[in-house]
């Protein structure tokens, strides 16, 4: 094992891949340093009791089914051996930011773009960019659930529907305006469900959003704090609600089940076709050029 490391923002292997415009990469497992494995071990050990207390039962079943090693950064090949037979999903290593259409298209093909770097072992708390702990321990256990997995695929369908819809718009300027609004609606919906969603369960409110499932501080805060407003998820609210990523979320939305969530994504697609996403409320998140272009010229 070398000590080069695959640490967030300090990974020469990733820098090289980015320089060579390689988005999909291999996971060079031997490059993980002792410190990288220590970071995983520490993150996992402190989250475990919080998952037991606050995570929804589908996640707990998923994490058991994946047989993750609590002591070492997981190999994606190992994760996929357990994941694929359950829902057909696979974790696919990426070198960095995945433009929106490509991201959703991967979901449609039951592939989850997965960050392979890990945060520093002395900085375990919030980091704005995803890392392998967020992606594998936060997201992937949810992908073992068939109803949840079908919901992600449906998000991919929505992206294809959007790309088709804008083709029929004559003016390039109008195309960009409509796309910006649709991507904003999809990003907000994704944020308030897949990343920060809460769900009813027989034992009360539980967490299923991966941003919460990978955050030691916020998972408890999301369920217990009086400073959080929690409302039943409503499509018209989610697509118009701005969010900020640099602090604990003050507003969270609750779904009844993953079938309920699937129905909402289906409705999102229907509204898109009806033009009801063409002019959502302005605000965050801002949609960048790369995201827009990914819908206009999908490769």
Least gap, CB of 110 to Fe ion (angstroms) = 17
Phi first, then psi, for residue 246 (nearest 5°) are: -100, 15
Which residues sit opposite 232 in a β-bridge? 254
Q: Which is nearer to Fe ion, 156 or 166 (CB)?
A: 156
Q: Which is nearer to Fe ion, 27 or 210 (CB)?
A: 210
Q: Which is nearer to Fe ion, 121 or 210 (CB)?
A: 210
DSSP 24: B
Q: Please state, in angstroms and rounded to a whole number, the distance separating the CA atoms of residues 216 and 43.
A: 8
Q: Which is nearer to Fe ion, 5 or 130 (CB)?
A: 130
Least gap, CB of 90 to Fe ion (angstroms) = 17
Least gap, CB of 142 to Fe ion (angstroms) = 10
Q: Which is nearer to Fe ion, 143 or 206 (CB)?
A: 143
Q: Which is nearer to Fe ion, 5 or 138 (CB)?
A: 138
Nearest to 150 by CA among 87, 196, 222: 87
Binding site for Fe ion (CB under 5 A): 210
Least gap, CB of 135 to Fe ion (angstroms) = 7
The full length of the chain comes to 299
Q: Which residues of 165-201 are buried (b: 16+ CB within 10 A; e: fewer)?
A: bbeeeeeeeebbebbbbbbbbbbbbbbbbbbbbbbeb
Looking at beta carbons, which residue is closest to Fe ion? 210
DSSP 116: -
Give the full edge-to-edge strand order of the sheet including 198-199: 206-207, 198-199, 251-255, 229-232
Q: Rounded to a whole number, what is the distance in angstroms from the first to the last CA of the chain? A: 37
């Amino acid at each position: 094992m070398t000590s080069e490391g695959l640490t967030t923002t300090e990974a020469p292997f990733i820098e090289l891949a980015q320089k060579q415009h390689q988005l999909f990469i291999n996971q060079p497992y031997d490059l993980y340093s002792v410190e990288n494995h220590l970071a995983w071990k520490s993150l996992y050990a402190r989250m475990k009791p919080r998952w037991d207390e606050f995570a929804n039962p589908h996640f707990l079943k998923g994490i058991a089914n994946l047989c993750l090693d609590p002591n070492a950064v997981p190999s994606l090949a190992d994760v996929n051996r357990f994941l694929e037979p359950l829902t057909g999903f696979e974790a696919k290593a990426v070198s960095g930011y995945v433009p929106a259409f490509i991201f959703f298209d991967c979901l449609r093909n039951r592939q989850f773009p997965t960050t392979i770097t890990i945060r520093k072992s002395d900085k375990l708390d919030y980091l704005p960019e995803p890392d392998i702990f967020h992606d594998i321990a936060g997201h992937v256990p949810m992908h073992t659930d068939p109803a949840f997995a079908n919901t992600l695929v449906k998000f991919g369908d929505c992206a294809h529907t959007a790309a088709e819809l804008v083709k029929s718009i004559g003016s390039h300027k109008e195309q960009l305006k409509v796309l910006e609004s649709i991507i904003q609606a999809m990003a907000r919906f994704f944020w308030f469900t897949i990343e920060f969603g809460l769900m009813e369960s027989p034992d009360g409110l539980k967490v299923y959003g991966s941003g919460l499932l990978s955050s030691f501080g916020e998972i408890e805060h999301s369920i217990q704090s009086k400073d959080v407003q929690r409302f039943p998820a409503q499509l018209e609210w989610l697509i118009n609600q701005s969010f900020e990523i640099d602090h604990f979320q003050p507003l969270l939305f609750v779904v009844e089940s993953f079938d309920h969530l699937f129905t909402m994504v289906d409705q999102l697609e229907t509204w898109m076709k009806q033009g009801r996403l063409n002019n959502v409320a302005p605000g965050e998140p801002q949609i960048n050029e790369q995201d827009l272009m990914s819908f206009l010229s999908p490769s």
